[in-house]
Amino acid sequence: MPELPEVETVREGLERLLKGERIDDIAVYHPRAVQRSEGDVAGLAVFGGRTVEAVVRRGKFLWFEMEGIALNFHLGMSGQLLVSEPGAPAPDHPHLRARIMFKDGSVLRFLDQRTFGYLQRSSLTEVSDGRPAGQGTESPFIPVPVAHIARDVLDPWVEVGDIARRTRRRRTEIKRAMLDQTLASGMGNIYCDEALYRAKINPRRKTNGLSYQRIEALWHHSKDVLREALEQGGTTFDALYVNVNGASGYFSRSLQAYGQGGKPCGRCGATMTRIQFMNRSSTFCPICQPFSGGSSSRL
DNA sequence: ATAGCGGCCTGAAGGC
DNA sequence: TGCCTTCAGGCCGCTA
């Protein structure tokens, strides 16, 4: 499951290996790998001869700036981007969805078991605040399909106070708000559970029933969780193999809430509760993260 | 406009 | 042993 830290690791690898290179050709092996792409599969031909000017990320979206247009990627649930340097093999694979061949002989392969991921040709549009559109660029231009996605919590231009104020205006459950990519992007189920655990907030608490201070603290915890995961996960990938690996070190060593249902809480020893929530699971400590009032209303 | 929910997809894991 | 069901979850698009 590539989450924001994994996508940023991939971005850094692609930037290091492919920035400045020119695309020769793109081959597509599965129709679902190209979704909502301008000109459909045939439209990808315009990338031939164009240079990768920047490799940019906002939330879990990743794109190449290519001389006025974007080649935009989303890895979905199971996507991988693998770079083979010139002369190295780039073999077929049962889940191979596309190959991007570069003039220098490099090959970028897109693999995706569950085909939730895709690549697409997109026009660029200017972001309203005029600031750099994402990690990896100074340009304020963003692919049209990404324009509605908010800045992510690791974005240097984002202000936690601003996210907190907009969160508090919502009238919904706090975890729903955290997963809403138009409020702040990049928070998946795993990192939401971890941040809520650290902030001692029940996932079903209402946004308007929490103080500004607690919501602000929650977003600071969110930022910390993502930064720590990035620091740990970013060291496990070598230069030749830009990988996305759900079993990164962070997952096995550091998770305190996600996947811990039935196990004792690391703080108080109570049994961690797992509930169904938004067609997925949500795990929390019933003592540290109570649903109603009590100690949870204080910091 | 906004909130909330269903659908997309396949391999692993568990039950019988 | 083997078949069937359940689960994982980000994002889009539909509905109210």
A207 pLDDT higher than 60: yes
CATH architecture under which domain A160-290 falls = Orthogonal Bundle (1.10)
Active site residue A145: no
Active site residue A3: yes
Given a contact cutoff of 8 angstroms between Cβ atoms, the answer to whether A78 and A114 are in contact is yes
pLDDT number for residue A1: 67
Query: At A173, phi and psi to the nearest 5?
Result: -75, 145
pLDDT more than 70, % of chain A: 90
- A188: CB within 7 A of chain C nucleic strand: yes
Q: How confident is the model at residue A3 (pLDDT cuts 50, 70, 90)?
A: confident
CA A248 to chain centre: 15
| A146: nearest nucleotide, CA–C1' criterion | C11
- A36: CB within 7 A of chain C nucleic strand: yes
**Mean pLDDT of all residues in A21-50:** 95
pLDDT number for residue A286: 93
* H/E element, A15: helix A4-18
What DSSP string describes A235-259?
A: TS--TT-----TT-HHHHHH-SSTT
A5: nearest Cα among A222, A238, A218, A157: A222
Residue A250 CA to residue A252 CA, distance in Å, equals 6
**Mean pLDDT of all residues in A138-162:** 93
Given a contact cutoff of 8 angstroms between Cβ atoms, the answer to whether A54 and A64 are in contact is yes
- Report the mean per-residue pLDDT for chain A: 87
Q: Please, which positions of strand B sit below 7 A from a protein CB?
A: 3-11
Could you tell me the distance in Å between the CA of residue A115 and the C1' of nucleotide B8? 9
**Mean pLDDT of all residues in A71-78:** 91
pLDDT number for residue A77: 85
pLDDT number for residue A298: 38
Nearest residue: Cα versus C1' of B6? A279
A169 pLDDT higher than 90: no
Q: How confident is the model at residue A293 (pLDDT cuts 50, 70, 90)?
A: low
Given a contact cutoff of 8 angstroms between Cβ atoms, the answer to whether A198 and A224 are in contact is yes
What DSSP string describes A72-95?
A: EEE-TTTEEEEEE-TTS-----TT
Q: In which residue ranges of chain A is CATH 3.20.190.10 found? A: 4-146
Residue A38 CA to residue A53 CA, distance in Å, equals 20
Could you tell me the distance in Å between the CA of residue A202 and the C1' of nucleotide B10? 32
A87 pLDDT higher than 50: yes
**Mean pLDDT of all residues in A94-106:** 95
pLDDT number for residue A4: 86
CATH architecture under which domain A4-146 falls = Alpha-Beta Barrel (3.20)
Other C-beta atoms lying within 10 Å of the C-beta of residue A218: 25
A141: nearest Cα among A80, A89, A66: A66
Active site residue A280: yes
- A189: CB within 7 A of chain C nucleic strand: yes
A248 pLDDT higher than 60: no
Q: How confident is the model at residue A261 (pLDDT cuts 50, 70, 90)?
A: confident
**Mean pLDDT of all residues in A33-47:** 94
pLDDT more than 90, % of chain A: 58
Q: How confident is the model at residue A199 (pLDDT cuts 50, 70, 90)?
A: very high
- A152: CB within 7 A of chain C nucleic strand: no
Q: Which of A127-131, A198-202, A241-245, A261-265 shows the lowest per-residue confidence on average (mean pLDDT)?
A: A241-245
Given a contact cutoff of 8 angstroms between Cβ atoms, the answer to whether A194 and A168 are in contact is no
Could you tell me the distance in Å between the CA of residue A204 and the C1' of nucleotide C3? 38
**Mean pLDDT of all residues in A170-185:** 90
Could you tell me the distance in Å between the CA of residue A273 and the C1' of nucleotide C5? 24
Could you tell me the distance in Å between the CA of residue A294 and the C1' of nucleotide B10? 44
Q: In which residue ranges of chain A is CATH 1.10.8.50 found? A: 160-290
Q: How confident is the model at residue A51 (pLDDT cuts 50, 70, 90)?
A: very high
A299 pLDDT higher than 70: no
Q: Which of A58, A60, A109, A274 is catalytic?
A: A60
Active site residue A36: no
A163: nearest Cα among A283, A59, A296: A59
pLDDT number for residue A297: 38
What DSSP string describes A94-147?
A: TTEEEEEEETTS-EEEEEESS---EEEEEEEEE-TT-S--SBT-S--EEEGGGT
Q: Which of A165, A263, A280, A298 is catalytic?
A: A280
Distances from the Cα of A122 to the Cαs of A44, A48, A69, A140, A263, in angstroms?
10, 15, 6, 15, 46
- A258: CB within 7 A of chain C nucleic strand: yes
**Mean pLDDT of all residues in A25-40:** 93
